[in-house]
Amino acid sequence: MPDLLPEHSELQKLRHFGVTPEQLEQFQILSLPENLLTASRVEDLLDAQDGIDLVKRLKEAGISCACSLDLTPAAATVRRRGGDLWLGIVWIQQSNVAAVFAKTLQQKLKSWAERNSLRKERWKVHLRLRIRQAQEISELAYTGDSETLSHLLNGLIQDGMPT
């Protein structure tokens, strides 16, 4: 895999916390906590349980994936009690796995929607997605319903991503 872009603030913050570029390069996808940029100490990092669940699904799908707990054991986990789905910051470091990521996330969104179908209030999905292609990074900050996100993810599946 090509060198990570050192100028991206999220990757710089990981290095500040002692995560080496070599550690990061081991993984096709990184799932990072939403508070990455605001955390002042590695112990302040909070991986959302929803993001950790996504990492488990991606690993089951054969993707080399890590969350901050895999990168630094001092990180912690937070489980929210509300209905929203919090996925944190997801870095697709190798664009050839984007379609597998999209399908896996769509499956998670479908099961989550089924579990929450009886709720009267509208729930939302929160995701910051980074897709690396060569030396370019495409970014999507999403807060909205799961159906719209699922439609957006179809673009990664149908169009595919160049390696």
Select, from the ranges 3-7, 99-103, 152-156, the one with the highest average predicted confidence (pLDDT): 99-103
Strand runs labelled E in the chain: 29-32, 46-48, 65-67, 76-78, 85-92, 125-133, 136-144
pLDDT above 80 (res 4): no
**27-55 confidence digits (pLDDT tens):** 999 999 999 999 999 889 999 999 999 99
- Does residue 163 carry a pLDDT above 80? no
Q: Which two tokens stand for residue 118?
A: 């009886």
Helix (H, G, I), strand (E, B) or coil at 46: strand
User: In this predicted model, what pLDDT tens digit does every residue of 71-122 receive, in sequence order?
Assistant: 987 788 887 777 789 999 999 999 899 999 999 999 999 988 887 776 656 7
Q: Where are the domains of the chain?
A: 9-159
Q: What is the pLDDT of residue 37?
A: 92
Degrees, nearest 5: CA angle 52-116-109: 45
